[in-house]
Structure 1
Amino acid sequence: MQQHLPSGDISPRHHRVSKSRSRTVKGALAAAAATAGLLLSLIPGGAQAADNPYERGPAPTRSSIEALRGPYATSQTSVSSLSVRGFGGGTIYYPTSTADGTFGAIAVSPGFTAYQSSIAWLGPRLASQGFVVFTIDTNTTLDQPASRGDQLLAALDYLTQQSSVRSRVDASRLGVMGHSMGGGGTLEAAKDRPSLQAAIPLTGWNLDTTWPELKTPTMVIGADGDTIAPVLTHSKPFYNSLPGSLDKAYLELRGATHFTPNTSDTTIAKYSISWLKRFIDNDTRYEQFLCPLPSASLTIAEYRGNCPHTS
């Protein structure tokens, strides 16, 4: 006897075909999703990195920016004064891996009568956060701020054009730092080369205290106990003279002296890292450590700045 299926039922053969087609569609969708996921995984940071190709390293935390070392393993290479022109040689610290592409770079100058050893702690500390860092010696230890500014720029030119690590550096993303007269030189370098992305003078000294022409985002770091470059006659006038439209900050260290930047310091490191990341790497993940403005604390006597940042 012929069996009739109830009205609306689907034959077993039709049911098998439909299930087969469903599996095919689901498989195609899964393959497309997997392909999209693979493409995103090839970009550091996934979709967010596509928005900012300069972003480097994992999402920051307070502990990560205060740590003695960041997420990158580092190496270093010495540069003889005999092999360069315009400055006195130095040491380049850089992330060992090239998997993330190129990095922004910072040149750092010591102060009056000092050598690169006085600011050497900044090398591996900043490099391990995803920068190439060049701590330099000056032509003579007595060089004045204007000369130190020229030497910082000469060091950056060497770093990006001739050094053994030049392929690791993005020449469009550069910054300068310096201690004492090297800090004064940092301001000079930023004035002479407006394309610099960040400047950080550390207890800076310069007879020129007005810098309305600067176009480089600048964080001025002073010390409340500085008797060599007192904040009232150096760091505060530096900061106050910067144009109002500029991304800028003033950090005054509490219980600190002119020579505090010569030894490893967590407060200097955490805010320098945040400033350099924010403006050299355009990494807005670090904005949280700069805005809202940090409050006075056991290590901060005063902090001023403009928030939110515009660039």
Structure 2
Amino acid sequence: MRWRTTAWAAGALGLVLAGTVGLAPRALAADNPFERGPAPSNASVEARRGPFATSQTTVSRLAVSGFGGGTIYYPTSTSEGTFGAVAVAPGFTATQSSMAWLGPRLASQGFVIFTIDTITTSDQPSSRARQLLAALDYLTQSSSVRSRIDASRLGVMGHSMGGGGTLEAAIDRPALQAAIPLTPWNLVKSFSRMQVPTLIIGAESDSIASVRTHSEPFYESLPSGLDKAYLELNNASHFAPNSDNTTIAKFSISWLKRFVDNDTRYEQFLCPRPSVSTAISEYRDSCPHS
């Protein structure tokens, strides 16, 4: 069951805080055992690297089934416990290298990130959905880092057709904790059965998966009671997710922290809704989050 914040819990936490002013911040870690890392700031979520040192390991396509192998990025220390994990799929004709920048950037914030190759670069969204889920199963059941992962805290991300696959994977596996489609493309337009908190990131100047025919209809089709958000990158192209992008990183980190780690310290970056800026042309959100 997804961790929920209630008014009662918030009030109780306030009483606890009032009586424990002198305690170190980590003394309250038991209030949410999934918190990882220090309290965030705008600078920390925009930084190229977070507080965790990371390493990586390559997974050969010959060693797996159901997807095309990939690269796992993970925190080197488990002193704070296990981590949530996210599988990331590339877009049409692309390989994992197009999403590689996300690996160390997200892993250094306290996640295990698996950027995958698809079986063929022309695989359609439904196939990419199945491959994302196969990658998560490999990651949690067979990979060399499986002991570092909390298998109940998983998410999916993907670009273009990988983003379309992200939406389908979340529909197919509602136990996932978060989904982040990046400039997603899919011929399926309705995702009204979605139960997974979903952040859709579109690009204002996308001429391949225009926000008018893809990202916006996807967002509008999501259930009204779902934790959901839509971020439109200002004057950006379809390929914005293929290079280091601070806005994508900031909001992806915040969404994953909020819903994979149940870490309400990151709510501040999502709600109230960020204003239109040189980086963001539009932002919608179901604030406040449950």
Q: Same fold (TM over 0.5)?
A: yes
What is residue 50 of structure 1 aligned with on the other side? 30
Shift of residue 45, structure 1, vs aligned partner: 1.9
Whole-angstrom CA distance in 1 between matches of 2:100 and 2:125:
19
Match of 1:179 among 156, 159, 183: 159
Q: Match of 2:74, SS?
A: strand
CA deviation string 1:146-183 (max 9, x = no partner): 00000000000000000000000000000000000000
What is residue 203 of structure 1 aligned with on the other side? 183
Residues 1:113 and 2:93 aligned together: yes
Residues 1:250 and 2:219 aligned together: no
Match of 2:219 among 239, 251, 274: 239
Under a length normalisation based on structure 2, what TM-score does the superposition of the two structures give?
0.92
Match of 1:103 among 62, 83, 108: 83
* Structure 1 segments (4+ residues) deviating >2 Å: none
CA deviation string 1:199-224 (max 9, x = no partner): 00000000001100000000000000
Unaligned runs of at least 5 residues, structure 1: 1-36
What is residue 50 of structure 2 aligned with on the other side? 70
Write the letter of the residue equivalent to 1:243. Answer: P
Residues 1:286 and 2:266 aligned together: yes
Summarize the alignment of residues 1-311 of structure 1 with structure 2, pairs less than 5 Å apart: 45-47=26-28, 49-310=29-290
User: How many residues are paired up?
Assistant: 269
Larger relative contact order, structure 1 or 2 (CA cutoff 8 Å, min sep 6): 2
C-alpha RMSD of the superposition: 1.1
Under a length normalisation based on structure 1, what TM-score does the superposition of the two structures give?
0.85
Write the letter of the residue equivalent to 1:46. Answer: A
Whole-angstrom CA distance in 1 between matches of 2:100 and 2:186:
22
Write the letter of the residue equivalent to 2:27. Answer: G
Unaligned runs of at least 5 residues, structure 2: 1-19
Whole-angstrom CA distance in 1 between matches of 2:248 and 2:175:
24
Q: Match of 2:26, SS?
A: coil
Q: Match of 1:177, SS?
A: strand
Write the letter of the residue equivalent to 1:200. Answer: I
Whole-angstrom CA distance in 2 between matches of 1:45 and 1:241:
40
Shift of residue 255, structure 1, vs aligned partner: 1.5
Whole-angstrom CA distance in 1 between matches of 2:102 and 2:162:
14
Q: Match of 1:158, SS?
A: helix
Write the letter of the residue equivalent to 2:222. Answer: L
Whole-angstrom CA distance in 1 between matches of 2:27 and 2:211:
44
Q: Match of 1:138, SS?
A: coil
Shift of residue 46, structure 1, vs aligned partner: 1.4
Q: Match of 1:45, SS?
A: helix
What is residue 8 of structure 2 aligned with on the other side? none
Whole-angstrom CA distance in 2 between matches of 1:203 and 1:264:
15
Whole-angstrom CA distance in 1 between matches of 2:172 and 2:27:
37
